[in-house]
Structure formats: structure tokens, C-alpha cells
Amino acid sequence: MAEVRLLVDANNHLGEGPLWDVKEERLYWIDSTAAEIYSCRADGADVKRYFVPRHIGSMALREQGGAVVALANGLHFYDFDAQAVAFIADPEADDPEMRFNDGKVDRRGRFIAGTMSYDFDRYDADRGQRSTRSGALYRLDVDGRIARLDSGISCSNGPCWSPDNRTLYFTDTYCKEMYAYDYDIETGAATNRRLFASAHNMAGTFDGATVDEEGYVWSALVFGGRIVRFAPDGTLDRVVPFPVRNLTSVMFGGPNLDTLYVTTMGRPMWGIPQKERDKGGLFAVTGLGVRGLPEPRFAG
């Protein structure tokens, strides 16, 4: 029986991107619109907070120390001690309405992250429709080069890989769809995009995601108050109800990689009210009976 409990009463504006680091045995997560990075031990103790200069969409730890952060103004290296960034690149610098959002590292140490627009005016949260798809999906190679993997995306979220590295999963949140790509782990190429799962018949829409060691995909349903698990063939396998409505992302962690950490949103968006006492908190789900996979570090 799954048990859901509040781990850290973080009161995040827009908690996102839980990241368990097996080397440090610490959990990291971000508050995207507050421009903050947090970390804690597996049990929620020893919370630390760091600041970044712009809105942050995602982060990944580096093999040589520090992190890669995807900020509103591009990709940067981050020094935790100095709380300072070093610019790498911004492939969409000519469009100030665009910002980086969710991202993760593949098992060759590349950072994959996508973009979205700040312009929410034409988004219908109930129907999941948006009139423009101006975002894109990018790959940051270990040598610092950036490649565009896909375009025509409204809100980039949830990149994660199958255990055999052959499939990249990726979510377009505003469109209420999750896709699968054929992924070449040797080159980092993503091809043959197809629909993996749809949230059109669900409350809410897909947000952050992760894959467990059995190859099943877990996704947080933002606006939906549930976590869903899909089999590798796209069949809905399990639903975990949640005490707050606006879940944002999930990641397995803890010493045995069997705790599912869940970030949430604390501020209202698109006029959708949030009345739950624990909104914006970091949660832990135990008793799921499955384990996750170690999250790699950026190799550059």
C-alpha cells in the first residue's frame, strides 16, 4: 500500500525537478519562479537553499562538481559555493518570451532540455489547447555544443529514458500528450516521434516524469492531483491519488531508490484555485514496490 507524506514544507512557488544524487545521497529540487535550488537528505532533514539569477527550469549535477542549470536566459554552469553562473549558450536568445524548462541527463552524460513560452494567455487549462507551439528540445553535448532535437513544442517537460536507452520519453504539457522517440545513445539523436500516452481523458495533464527499473513511466498530473504509471506499451498501469492538486514532477531516490519524491506548485496559475494546506511542499511516496534507476551526472 502506497503511503504519501509531506517531507519538506517548502512552500515553493513552483517546485520542480526532483533529482536524487546517488553519490552524495541527497535530493535536489528547484523552485522555478522563485529562482532557487534546494537540497536535503533522504528523510527531508538538512535542507539547504541556493539562489540563481533568473527563473530556473531544470538542473543536473556535473561529474566535475557544480551543476548545469537551464535558466530563462539559456544554459549555464553553476557553482554552489559561490552561487554564481557561467554562461554556456542560449539557442533562443532572439526571443525573450522563450525560456528553458525541464531537462535531464542521458546515460552518456549529455543534458537534454526543452523550452516553453512565458506567454500563457492563450492556454486553456481544461482543454489543454494552445494556439502556438514555439518551443523546442535541445541536447547539450559534453563538449559544449548544442543540437536541436525537435521543435513545434508548446511546453517541454518530462524527458526520461527506458532502461535499455533505446527510447526517450518526452511530454508536451499544454497539449496533454506524452511522446516516445527512438533514441541513439551513441550519438544522442532522437527520431521517429510518436504518441505514447494521452491525458485528454484525464483530469489535469502530464508534467515531470521518470522511468523505473522495470521500464514503466511515472508522470505527475499537474491540475489533476494524481501520479500515473504507464507500461512500456503505453497502457495505464497504476494511479496514485494525492492530497494536493498541482503535482509537478517525480523522481525515485533514497538509499534503495524505492522512494518516489514529488514536487508541487504553491501558487495559483490560470485562475485555478489552490486551497490545500501543503501546496508547494516536497512529498515522499513509499510502499510502491518498485525501484528507480540512478540518475547520471553531466559529463562535461
Q: 287 CB contacts (<8 Å, ≥6 apart)?
A: 1, 2, 3
Q: Kindly list the catalytic residues.
A: 207
Q: 59 is written with which cell numbers?
A: 538542473
Residue 276 backbone phi and psi in degrees, to 5: -70, 140
Task: Give the residue carrying C-alpha cell 522512494.
Answer: 259
Task: Give the end-to-end CA distance of the chain in Å, rounded to a whole number.
Answer: 41
Q: Which helix (H) or strand (E) holds 241?
A: strand 236-241
Produce one character per residue of 124-158: b if its CB has 16 or more CB atoms within 10 Å, e if not.
Answer: ebeebebeebbbbbbbbeeeeebbebbeebbbbbb
Three-state SS letters, 116-127: EECCCCCCECCC
**Three-class SS state of 183:** strand
Q: C-alpha grid cell for residue 227? A: 501520479
